[in-house]
Amino acid sequence: MKRLNTDLWQQWQSRYLQSLKARSKWQHNYSVNDVVLLKDETIPHRSWPLARVMKTFPGDDGVVRVVEVLCQGRLYKRAVDRLILLVADQPPPGSMSRPTRTLCVQDKVSSNNA
């Protein structure tokens, strides 16, 4: 069973996560409330923590290369090449307002501290 779990994780990582990374690296300009995974080569991939983008730091060209993320109740600055975008907080087409996420890192952190 452990081998099956490992094989499944490796397939998911090599196919799905890599497609998200490639898409987000070249096509997505990070924004507040995006949900991301924090890449950390020192821990197993399945243990990478979730985080929410709290602040962006665009360069002179307007492209965001550094963000501040909330992860497990703490704020960290991370380069976007060390992130994997999971959920982009984008307004629906034709809408002027941003959607509200029902499950997000902030809610998870708040419920863990309660």
Q: pLDDT at position 86, please?
A: 87
Q: What is the mean pLDDT of residues 74-89?
A: 89
More confident residue, 112 or 18: 18
Distance between CA atoms of 59 and 62, rounded to whole angstroms? 5
Per-residue pLDDT reduced to its tens digit, 9-65: 787 777 776 666 555 444 578 889 999 999 988 988 888 999 999 999 998 888 899
85 phi and psi, to 5 degrees?
-70, 130
Q: Which fold is adopted by the domain 2-113? A: SH3 type barrels. (2.30.30)
- The pLDDT value recorded for residue 105 is 45
* Whole-angstrom distance, CA of residue 33 vs CA of residue 17: 19
Instruction: Say if pTM beats, i.e. exceeds, 0.75.
Output: no
